[in-house]
A and B are shown apart, each in its own frame.
Chain A
Amino acid sequence: MLTIDFGPNGVVVIAGRLDAAQSPAAQAFLDQVDGTVTLDCIRLEYISSAGLGVLLKTQKRLMGSAGKLRLSGVNRHLQDIFVYSGFDKIFEIEPAP
């Protein structure tokens, strides 16, 4: 299961598992955001390459109009995935406390 919605202060809150089956819904939501957006990942448990594709596509679109996607509350497992994917070089990542 995956949920994605706006939280306080315009932050986008994502929770659950961002897998191949859930990625189209996440992409449809993120296609509607503009500017610099923080994605709160504190309750994101899992991401696969399909989910990484959603984040990359969104980052490319936002950076094309001087915005960006920031990732906050990233757990250790997700941090590993981002490092292995080289996403630590193209996203601002704030680890989970």
Chain B
Amino acid sequence: MTSHRTFRRSFDSIQDIFAFSAEVFASERIEPSLLPSVDLTLEELFTNMVKYTASTAAVRIDMTKVAGGVEVTLTDYDVGPFDVTQAPDADIDRPIEQREPGGLGLHLIRRLVDCVQYEYSAESRQSRITFRKTQAGATTSDRGTVAGSADAHD
């Protein structure tokens, strides 16, 4: 079953988005250990929409239980194209003197979820970002195991 809700384009909506994801995880009995990665991905994608687009339209979020996890789609209205899957990774090997806050959001989500897809319709000026998080593609901490490097999903 798919659950959906729309959220005002504001940082103040983040708590409501977290409440929505927690509600869907509970009602659909989705593995709770996947929730932090899903919340982080939702926050990063949603805050990018708030920061970098001039649209005032609300953002729609759909969540669907899939085998072993969840699939989430964010739909953004009245926006130009920006393919989040093509954004470069952050250079995390720089010394601290050369690092500045920012630029880590998309870098992180590529490592936390199984896959991210981007679609854009120029006709309707609508973008859709879909990501999937499952136990099969879970990171080390999602599985609750100890030691070893976490799986990366580039």
Q: Residues on A close to B: CB < 8 A?
A: 17, 19-21, 45-46, 48-50, 52-54, 56-57, 59-60, 63, 75-77, 79-81, 83-86, 89-90
Query: Which residues of chain B have C-beta atoms less than 8 A from A21's C-beta?
Result: 11-12, 14-15
Check A48–B105 contact: CB distance below 8 A: yes
- A84-B108 contact, Cβ under 8 Å, with A56-B101, A79-B141: yes
A19 to B43, CA, bound (A): 8
Cα–Cα, bound, A56→B94 (Å): 13
B60 touches A (CB below 8 Å) = no
Q: A49-B105, A49-B108 are in contact. List 18 more A-B contacts (CB 8 A).
A: A20-B43, A21-B11, A21-B12, A46-B39, A48-B44, A49-B102, A52-B104, A53-B101, A53-B102, A53-B104, A56-B100, A77-B141, A80-B141, A81-B108, A83-B150, A85-B92, A85-B104, A90-B95
Contact partners of B37 in chain A: CB under 8 A: 77
Is there contact, CB below 8 Å, between A76 and B141? yes
Q: Residue on B with the closest CB to A91?
A: B96
- Checking B36, B44, B139, B142 against A49 with a beta-carbon cut-off of 8 angstroms, the contacting residue is B44
Q: Which residue of B lies closest to A88 (CB)?
A: B92
In the bound assembly, the distance between CA atoms of A52 and B108 in angstroms comes to 11
Q: Which residue of A lies closest to B109 (CB)?
A: A49
Closest to B142 in A: A77
Chain A nearest Cβ from B61, distance in angstroms: 16
Closest 5 CB pairs of A and B: A86-B92, A53-B101, A76-B141, A49-B105, A49-B104
**Considering the chains assembled together, what is the distance between the CA atoms of A90 and B152 in angstroms?**
21
CB of B18 within 8 Å of the partner chain: yes
Contact: A50 with B96, CB < 8 Å? no
Instruction: Provide the bound-state CA to CA distance between A21 and B18, in Å.
Output: 12
Question: Which residues in chain B, 8-39, are within 8 Å of chain A measured between CB atoms?
Answer: 11-12, 14-15, 18, 36-37, 39
- Among B47, B95, B139, B140, point to the contact of A20 (Cβ < 8 A): B47
- A5 and B127 alpha carbons, distance in the complex (Å): 41
Q: Which residues of B contact A53 (CB under 8 A)?
A: 101-102, 104
A sample of 11 inter-chain contacts (CB < 8 A) reads A17-B18, A45-B36, A49-B104, A49-B108, A53-B102, A60-B97, A76-B141, A79-B141, A80-B150, A85-B104, A90-B95
Question: Counting CB contacts under 8 A, is B40 at the interface?
Answer: yes
